[in-house]
Amino acid sequence: MRIIFMGTPDFAVPTLTELVGRGHDVAAVFTRPPAPGGRRGLDLVPSPVHAVAERFGIPVFTPASLRGDAAAAQMRDFGADVAVVVAYGLILPQAVLDAPALGCLNLHASLLPRWRGAAPIQRAVMAGDPETGVAVMRMEAGLDTGPVGLMERIAIGPDQSAGDVHDALMVIGADLMGRALAALERGGLDFKPQPETGILYAHKIGKDEARIDWARPAAEVHNRIRGLAPFPGAWFALADGTRVKVLRATLGTGAGAPGEILDDGLLIACGDGAVRLVQVQRAGKQPMAADAFRNGAALPAGSRLG
């Protein structure tokens, strides 16, 4: 099939690679414009999808917006059968959605209609969901409201982070989109409307959500830690104000004042129960095992984390 691919982050790269590998004619790639990055943050760095598309020799377009007649006309000029959208990051107006002959298919990282919106993986883990998945949806003007053609589920392990789930879903999702396009080409992709019940919105993660509140129940603290790992990272503060992200943790057994260190292995008391820190990252430093961090930070049992 002749395809327009629209995506930006690492999550979208396996799908683009899968479509090229299956022999589809990817006429163009649309992605977000290069953003400041590099060691000092002064270089303009292309998106992961941009870099891969250039290696494949696919024309790349980086519009700041798709609004206006010109954008829709450009999309129509490609003569694409379908557009594949994976974490693109721009709103597609109705005229753009209508431009490909068979419309636009979106790969969304949730079990729709649960967790529509910007941060479905993080929200699923933060909520303690036992499972999540990926869905291939035909796009409409509404936020992730379109009918679903294919869906695949995976379990979320009790200590899995959002990063772990992200890495699993981007591989599964690439294969799912490949299968969806094969069915679409045969005329056998059956789209079903999403249920009207069970709708939840995965709002963008706010900065005020990242600080750990040790007064919350241990299960909630644990889910927040793993739901925000590796980015932006749930954090606590040392006595000198230094922020420390918690990248890995597990539920433990113990009781004490919220934030109190209960043993020599960084078991931390919560409002109800306790969590054990496994991997942390001090601001400006590399991730490290919690035990090694504790030895260097002089955090004896009985002291408290902020």
Q: Is 112 marked as a binding-site residue?
A: yes
Tokens read off for 124: 């699923």
Nearest-angstrom CA–CA distance, 223 and 242: 23
The identity of residue 179, as a single letter, is R
Beta pairing, strands 60-61 & 35-37? unpaired
Residues composing the chain: 306
Nearest-angstrom CA–CA distance, 112 and 124: 12
Nearest-angstrom CA–CA distance, 171 and 283: 31
Indicate the DSSP class of residue 206: P
Q: Is 34 marked as a binding-site residue?
A: no
Residue 253 CB-half CA count within 13 A:
0
Q: Is 110 marked as a binding-site residue?
A: yes
Beta strands in the chain (DSSP E): 2-7, 25-30, 35-37, 43-45, 60-61, 82-86, 104-108, 116-117, 131-138, 148-155, 201-202, 234-237, 243-252, 267-269, 274-282, 288-289
Q: Is 113 marked as a binding-site residue?
A: yes
The H helix count followed by the E strand count for the chain is 8, 16
Tokens read off for 88: 């693109």
Complete DSSP assignment for 210-243: SB--TTSBHHHHHHHHHHTTTTT-EEEE-TT--E
Binding residues for (6S)-5,6,7,8-tetrahydrofolate: 110-113
Binding positions are 110-113
